[in-house]
Amino acid sequence: MDAVILRNYRPGDATAISRLFRKIYGDHYAHHQVYLPWMINQNHAERRWHSLVAVEGKKLLGHASLCRDAGSHIAELALTVVDPQTRGQHIATRLGEQLLVHAQALGCRGVTIKQVTRHPYTQRMAATLGFQSTGLLPDYVPSPYGDPVPETLVIGYKAIDGYHRPLPALAWPSGCSELPSHLSQIFGITEKPSKWPHPAVRFEHCRGRYDVVIRSLDGNLLTQLRQLPGHWRISLRLRLTSGFTAALARLSAIGFLFTGLAPDERGSGWVALLHRGHPRRRLQLQCPHMQRLHDQRRQPAESALLDLP
């Protein structure tokens, strides 16, 4: 039997990669470009994806990629898929370890990972690779397994050696201070505000949810957010800077709940994650900080998330 080896992606791998995704996920994988080998090759040719594959002889058994948008200082460890017959060989972890070395060579300042929550495997792998879980994305993508309930994701972040991403020094409300305090011990604290490389407001529809990214909140924008249809599933990202605490309280008052933090992928700072609506599935998460956030969202009346002024 041939040994399983890891090597760089080759254009001739695209069809086998697409077949492997379909074998495991059917037609339900959220990143639809994996179903078109042409797009797999195009993403590599345009250097948006940097992939490794695991092969045994001529058989492709696994794939993982660093995905990075133009202008971003952060790559995402994503598109990890391994043939079920290789379970127990830690192929996904080995692919991740090698790609983290590649991330440094590519000049990335950090790497993120989105961990699924229907099962514990990607959460365990992320912890093994040294990722810190920073936030929840509730009901964020269609289930990759065809379930009617969307998949909640956990964001993980790992800084590349030599690059620091401290959290801003803010007065956090007591009801949501535990996670920022924990992450500040890992990533540090800064008094210097980070630059904002985005428009003042971004508003997009994606996979059944509405994504909102906000530099700062004023009364006019708050009123417009309040007037959005109540049945819309809204995922909001808010810049962490002065005035954030008051904005957090005002958003909480119109139904948005704090679900953690995420690195700003085009800047050097952080954004707060907020979500409108309650989770549809009770979850058992590997990270106790993420479990606490999830439990708070399920019982907002019993756990005062914010100390409103």
Q: Is-contact 215 196, C-beta < 8 A?
A: yes
Q: How far apart are CA 57 and CA 62, in angstroms?
A: 13
Which pair of tokens denotes residue 207?
């996979």
| 166 vs 304, higher pLDDT | 166
As beta bridge partners, residue 66 has 50, 77
Question: With bands split at pLDDT 50, 70 and 90, how would you rate the model's confidence at 306?
Answer: very low
Tell me how crowded residue 227 is: count the other CB atoms within 10 A of its CB: 9
Determine the Cα angle at 199 with ends 202 and 306, to 5°. 60
Type of residue numbered 233: R
Average of per-residue pLDDT across 97-106: 95
Q: What is the mean pLDDT of the chain?
A: 92
- Mapping DSSP to helix (H, G, I), strand (E, B) and coil, where does residue 197 land? coil
CATH topology of domain 4-159: Aminopeptidase (3.40.630)
Question: With bands split at pLDDT 50, 70 and 90, how would you rate the model's confidence at 307?
Answer: very low
* pTM of the predicted structure, to 2 decimals: 0.92
Q: Beta strands 189-190 and 167-168: pairing type?
A: parallel
Nearest CA-CA partner of 217 in 193, 253, 192: 253
Q: How far apart are CA 247 and CA 150, in angstroms?
A: 28
pLDDT at 190: 94
Q: Is the pLDDT of residue 146 over 60?
A: yes
- Percentage above 70 pLDDT, the chain: 95
pLDDT at 2: 72
Q: Taking the CA atoms of the chain, what radius of gyration do you get in angstroms?
A: 20
Average of per-residue pLDDT across 269-283: 86
Q: How far apart are CA 220 and CA 206, in angstroms?
A: 24
Residue ranges of domains in the chain: 4-159, 167-298
The answer to whether domain 167-298 has CATH 3.30.70 is no
| CATH topology match: 4-159 vs 167-298 | yes
**Residue-wise pLDDT tens digits, 220-260:** 999 999 999 999 999 999 999 888 999 999 999 999 999 99
pLDDT at 296: 84
**Residue-wise pLDDT tens digits, 45-89:** 999 999 999 999 999 999 999 999 888 889 999 999 999 998 889
Reported as type and span, the H/E element at residue 224 is: helix 219-226
- In eight-state DSSP terms, residue 155 is E
Q: Is the pLDDT of residue 122 over 80?
A: yes
